[in-house]
Chains A and B, each alone.
Chain A
Amino acid sequence: MIQDILSAVFILAGSIFMLIASIGMIRFPDFYIRNSASTKAVVLGVLLILLGVGIHYNDTIVFIEIFAILLFIFLIAPLAAHIVSRAAVITQVKFWEKTKLDELREYEKEQEEEAGGKA
Chain B
Amino acid sequence: MRTLILSTILRALTPLFISFALYMFFRGHNNPGGGFIAGLIASIPFMLHAMVFGYKRTTRVFRIRPRLLAGLGLLLALISGMFSVLRGEPYLSPVWVDEKLPVIGKVGTPIFFDFGVLLVVFGVVLQITFLLTEE
Contact = CB atoms under 8 A, between A and B. Distances in A.
- A–B: direct contact at CB < 8 Å: yes
Interface of A: 68, 71-72, 75-76, 79, 82-83, 86
Interface of B: 1, 3, 5-6, 9, 12-13, 16, 20
Contact of A79 (B1, B9, B16, B20): B9
Contact of A75 (B3, B9, B20): B9
Given A75-B9, A82-B5, 12 more contacts: A68-B20, A71-B16, A72-B16, A75-B12, A75-B16, A76-B9, A76-B13, A79-B6, A79-B9, A82-B6, A83-B3, A86-B3
5 contacts: A75-B13, A76-B9, A76-B13, A79-B5, A79-B6
Nearest to A68: B20
Contacts of B16: 68, 71-72, 75
Contacts of A72: 13, 16
B79 to A, nearest CB: 33
Nearest to A82: B5
A58 B40 CA distance: 30
B40 to A, nearest CB: 16
